[in-house]
Amino acid sequence: MTPPLPCDAADRSPASLQRLPARELTRLVQGLYFIFLGSLAVLAATVEVFVAAAMRPFHVLICGAGVVGVLAGSWRLCQVRALGQEWKLCTRGLLVLAGLMAYLFPFFCLWRNLPVNVYLLCHALVWIGAFICHTALLSSTMGVLGKLAGRPALVAQSMLFAGITFLTLFAPFALLSRELILVTSQGTDPLYALQLLIGQVPLLLGLGLLSPFALTLSLVWTTKDIAVQRLMAAGAAVEGNADRP
């Protein structure tokens, strides 16, 4: 027979979603909602900023609200502390990356108005890189939730989507960043060169480069549905116990 675990070791063991308290489930659902809407707003506004002739206050408002949403969602996920050490490491990484995005967002806005400034360009590239890293880590975090929820298909999808994000975004972004810095150091407008490059990209290739974001957000929405179902089941159980004489 295997000896029983000590009480402190049992307390440190991760809880599954079925045993997660309603308060923690509420934080989880709120965090997933904020991250989904915030990431969607950041992605849409960033793409619009790159193809538009000028960055308008509306772009700043939508993108800034998206950054705040990503930061708030990452903070709420980090407050869910009963899901084990792997979950804590992932959510802390999400919070650090979201904080970096919030810090660098003003530099991104300044670079859009002063694109030939190398200092602002480097900060803007780090901001975009932080968003890509946040997306990849978010996919892995959903895999941790899928493991705790007993959904092996969700775990497999998270690993696949994280790999797709790494292959389709990191390498092209590193090469593009290098070229933009070289172009700027030679006195050429990098934004104009980037817009020319975007105009020459085929539609299917452009959609393929954006597909990692769509796949990750679909994974977040699926995981949110699982958490909502568990929260509703927990609420129904509480109401049933309250109705008993």
- Look over the chain and give the mean of its residue pLDDT values, rounded to a whole number: 83
Domain ranges of the chain: 21-232
* pLDDT at residue 231 tops 90: no
Asked whether residue 233 carries a pLDDT value surpassing 50, the answer given is yes
Residues 6+ apart with CB under 8 A from 93: 137
Higher pLDDT pick, 161 / 10: 161
pLDDT confidence of residue 13: 44
